[in-house]
Structure 1
Amino acid sequence: MTRFRPLGLVTAAVLTVAAVTAGCSGPTAEPDPTALPGPAQSTVQPSASPGTPSARPTPEPAPEPTPEPTAGEPDLSLVDGWTLEEKAGQIVMVGLPVAGPFQPTFDMLRDQKIGGVFLHGRTTAGRQPVKNLVDAAVGAAAQRQPLFVATDQEGGAVQVLRGQGFSDIPSALDQAELSAPDLRERSRTWGAELAAAGVNLNLAPVLDLVPQATASSNAPVGVFGRNYGYTADSVITHGNAFAEGQRDAGVQTSIKHFPGLGRVTGNTDDTAGVTDAVTGPDDPSVDVFSAGIEAGSGLVMMSSAVYTKIDPDAPAVFSPVAVGLVRELGFDGVIISDDLSAAVQVQRVPAGARAVRAVDAGVDIVLASAKPSAAPVMVDALVRAARDDPDFAAKVDAAAARVVAAKADL
């Protein structure tokens, strides 16, 4: 497993960006350029000079062997000896605005021991400035685990990183016109571009099943052509080809937005009360995600819509029933929320409570991308809830262990 050392920060490159929200966002205008850190410089501590020989140490008793985890259960030994703060930090992912300011996010990575960043915004500056920013974030974190460095690089209207070193990726709807082998090969190239910039997680592909007759009124997906065609076969074939190409290049994927946003009209980012009254546990929309899980996606992103045929009383991301349905499909990887920092759908719930409710429902990573300042509040709320409730503390342990396991190959 890769270990990162603290790195210093210097100023160099320039990014041109505009803010977008993770998961369900569309195109936006771009603001003025903003300077961002240049390549970070590693700091090497001089080795201590040899001293006089020390006394032979007293042998310590061998530790008790840690039991092997049950199949499908997280390996809690991965976080054995961690502080509660460290575990809570691993299960929050904070936005790193590519337009800046950068320092607030760097401070959170250090002080709250946050385990992941989401590159938030739009840039046309190319690979090297992005790599500089990622290196600076890694250096600021200086923790025992590598960072998840995520972004939205779907293609079409939702492509965060552009410029020299990044291909112009067609929309998912256009990708679905390619053969699956061709798409996988192209996606491998797109993934290699991300990996070269230090990105190791793409919050893609979108596997939402959108009926063709209502696509033009489906604000989060159909309006932007984020869907891989209009049939379950097309979405499975082409969505999985995209995901496999990314993973071939060493970039993990998150299929989204379970159990599907294809039938709603409102976008949970900017609309409250978004509800799906059609999709149930045995719906073809769920079957598409089952195929994505079977194909090997390491993460599944939960929708924030309400699904009345699954759980009419809570958004899916806060619903143990909806989150539990992902596990019933045989998925033992990381379940991540859509953005919970600024999404209008969840604004009635205080920021800290959003994180607690998501983890209590079974979510492993809470995404605070659009409004990074919510992340420390979320970490603190998770810590307080875990101290007050042993059952919730066990859920924090399990979530952190899944996240650490998912980082094993980074």
Structure 2
Amino acid sequence: MTAGVSTLLLLGALDALGVGVPPRSGAAVASTLTPAAQAKAAYDRMTSAQRVGQLFMVGGPVTGLGSATESAIVRYHVGNLVLTGRTTSGAPPVRALTSHADVLANASATASVPLLIATDQEGGYVQVLQGTGFSRMPTALTQGTWADSALYASAASWGRQVRRSGVDVDLAPVMDTVAKSFASSNQPIGRYEREYGYTPSVVADKGTTFLRAMGASGLAMTAKHFPGLGRVTGNTDTSAGVTDTVTTRTSGDIAPFRAAVNSGARILMVSSAYYRLIDAARPAVFSPTVIGGMIRGDLHFTGIVVSDDLGNAYQVHNWTPAARAVDFIGAGGDVVLTVNPAVVPAMVGAVSARAASDSAFRAKVQTAVLRVLTVKAEYGLLEPRLPITGYLGPLTTTALQRWLGIARTGTFDRATILALQTRIAGPVVGVWGPRSMAAMQTYLGMSLDGATTWNSRTVAQLQRYLNTQL
């Protein structure tokens, strides 16, 4: 038994007994290790298969993950999830889904390292999370016409909504620049008004304002699609041979991505288009020149490089799923994103096999895994977690108070009740009763059971949810 596990067992026992636990900065007890040290500790307790799994992000419908996605996490140790499709059912079902996904990342699946749970919440035509609890976001092109102060205020609110749904990563903002005269011909970006403006300076300004505001909620933000899709006509999702014949390694269109990195983006998505004047032989997603030379070298980026979709995208259909994963990691990438879970076995198997037989590739895998784990640590995902006891003791109450942003007393007092009732849109009366319980269960995406006060079922779900938040 590791020290971390024994500590959590002790804390869970203290919580169940009602013994006070001092307030901590983490959900259970804060680590004093640096993110790099936390990452190394997590890496050391993982099996080889679990390490490789950290290099994948699998798609799952936001309306219900499905068996293939769950199998990718449980059986193939995939360490990251992207919610796909659209929901208009509001935040509570998303909270239930992300809490469930979080539980899948257990000791046997991921060595209990939580998933990065991502989605596409740009605005306009690309807004996965909709309905009650999520504001309807305008297109980036519209956002780009707002004053920075207005954009920041709105994006900060949108970020809190997304983060409180249990999502960790927003695959936004789009930092591609599309010339106004070319926008109608640009299928992936301009057609859907996903650009913040028509010049690199406007894109850099408005895109980084969105990034900083959304990130203030604790979301990890993703600048995409490096080195830019603003100069192509075809959409890599539905077309092959999509090629940029204009962009160079020093083009002005690179500036918004540099601004995003300097503004705190810890994830950068690389496109699958060809860039004839940078690396004519390979799509960017498979290019050491793009990933190693431009992203790591020119931009000095130390975060996670994630691929654009390598599961269904027609641009890469001439590569087998196995080759796509191996070529991306071999080029210096970190996380293979596939919206299609069916290709996960082939991709994971190929990366594992190459790592076992090729020492240079194995070193790239190790570097990438540690990079992913370090970013997870930066966002608090490697801190000890709340044990799921179903008991509302001091430890759980302290975590609840931390989430609410109030004094951490470990006591479910009137101040905590008022803050919680306000957060869950319940009756703000300072007394916890049946209506508050119904509001709590609704907020968590649970079926109502008529409880008049806290029961183990609701507390356990609250503990699962808080583990997605802290």
Interval of TM-score (by shorter of Structure 1 and Structure 2): 0.7 to 0.9
Deviation at 1:81, TM superposition (A): 4.5
- AA in 1 matched with 2:306: I
Deviation at 1:181, TM superposition (A): 2.1
1:355 matched residue in structure 2: 325
1:110 matched residue in structure 2: 74
Q: Tell me how far apart the structure 2 counterparts of residues 229 and 267 of structure 1 sit (CA, whole Å).
A: 19
Return the match for 2:83 from 109, 119, 126. 119
Deviation at 1:303, TM superposition (A): 0.5
Q: Tell me how far apart the structure 2 counterparts of residues 147 and 395 of structure 1 sit (CA, whole Å).
A: 21
Q: Closer, same or farther in 2 for the Cα pair 1:162/1:75, shift >3 Å?
A: closer
Deviation at 1:256, TM superposition (A): 0.2
Could you tell me whether the CA contact under 8 Å between 2:72 and 2:341 is conserved in 1? no
2:62 matched residue in structure 1: 98
2:360 matched residue in structure 1: 391
Q: Tell me how far apart the structure 2 counterparts of residues 222 and 89 of structure 1 sit (CA, whole Å).
A: 35
Q: Larger % of helix: which?
A: 2
Q: Does residue 80 of structure 1 match 2:44? A: yes
Structure 2: runs of 5+ lacking an equivalent:
6-10, 15-34, 382-470
1:297 matched residue in structure 2: 265
Return the match for 1:253 from 215, 221, 224. 221
% identical aligned pairs: 42
1:63 matched residue in structure 2: none
Could you tell me whether the CA contact under 8 Å between 2:82 and 2:119 is conserved in 1? yes
Q: Tell me how far apart the structure 2 counterparts of residues 111 and 141 of structure 1 sit (CA, whole Å).
A: 11
Aligned residue pair count: 346
TM-score normalised to the size of structure 2? 0.71
1:306 matched residue in structure 2: 274
Deviation at 1:235, TM superposition (A): 0.3
Could you tell me whether the CA contact under 8 Å between 1:76 and 1:398 is conserved in 2? no
1:271 matched residue in structure 2: 239
Q: Does residue 239 of structure 1 match 2:239? A: no
SS at the partner of 2:208?
helix
Q: Tell me how far apart the structure 2 counterparts of residues 176 and 229 of structure 1 sit (CA, whole Å).
A: 6
2:313 matched residue in structure 1: 343
Segments of 4+ moved more than 6 angstroms: 44-47
Could you tell me whether the CA contact under 8 Å between 1:207 and 1:227 is conserved in 2? yes
Structure with higher Rg: it is 2
SS at the partner of 1:181?
helix
Q: Does residue 171 of structure 1 match 2:139? A: yes
Deviation at 1:182, TM superposition (A): 1.7
Deviation at 1:284, TM superposition (A): 0.6
Deviation at 1:100, TM superposition (A): 4.1
Deviation at 1:46, TM superposition (A): 8.8
1:380 matched residue in structure 2: 349
Return the match for 1:224 from 162, 174, 192. 192
Using the TM superposition, name which of 136-145 and 166-175 deviates more.
Answer: 136-145
Show CA shifts across 1:337-392 (max 9, x none).
000000000011000110000000011000011x1111222111110010010110
TM-score normalised to the size of structure 1? 0.81
Q: Tell me how far apart the structure 2 counterparts of residues 101 and 185 of structure 1 sit (CA, whole Å).
A: 32
Q: Tell me how far apart the structure 2 counterparts of residues 147 and 77 of structure 1 sit (CA, whole Å).
A: 17
Q: Does residue 214 of structure 1 match 2:182? A: yes
What root-mean-square deviation, in Å, do the aligned CA atoms of Structure 1 and Structure 2 show?
2.3
Deviation at 1:82, TM superposition (A): 2.7
- AA in 1 matched with 2:338: A
Deviation at 1:45, TM superposition (A): 9.7
Return the match for 1:401 from 363, 370, 378. 370
Structure 1: runs of 5+ lacking an equivalent:
5-43, 48-67
Deviation at 1:98, TM superposition (A): 2.4
Q: Tell me how far apart the structure 2 counterparts of residues 255 and 163 of structure 1 sit (CA, whole Å).
A: 25
- AA in 1 matched with 2:58: V
Q: Tell me how far apart the structure 1 counterparts of residues 39 and 361 of structure 2 sit (CA, whole Å).
A: 17
Q: Tell me how far apart the structure 1 counterparts of residues 174 and 132 of structure 2 sit (CA, whole Å).
A: 25
2:304 matched residue in structure 1: 334
- AA in 1 matched with 2:172: A
Q: Tell me how far apart the structure 1 counterparts of residues 43 and 114 of structure 2 sit (CA, whole Å).
A: 14
- AA in 2 matched with 1:374: V
Q: Larger % of strand: which?
A: 1
Deviation at 1:287, TM superposition (A): 1.8
Could you tell me whether the CA contact under 8 Å between 2:204 and 2:255 is conserved in 1? no
Could you tell me whether the CA contact under 8 Å between 1:107 and 1:140 is conserved in 2? no
Q: Tell me how far apart the structure 2 counterparts of residues 380 and 150 of structure 1 sit (CA, whole Å).
A: 23
Q: Tell me how far apart the structure 1 counterparts of residues 165 and 354 of structure 2 sit (CA, whole Å).
A: 37
Q: Tell me how far apart the structure 1 counterparts of residues 98 and 42 of structure 2 sit (CA, whole Å).
A: 25
Show CA shifts across 1:252-287 (max 9, x none).
101000000000000000000000011000001112
SS at the partner of 1:114?
coil
Using the TM superposition, name which of 257-266 and 325-334 deviates more.
Answer: 325-334
Deviation at 1:307, TM superposition (A): 0.2
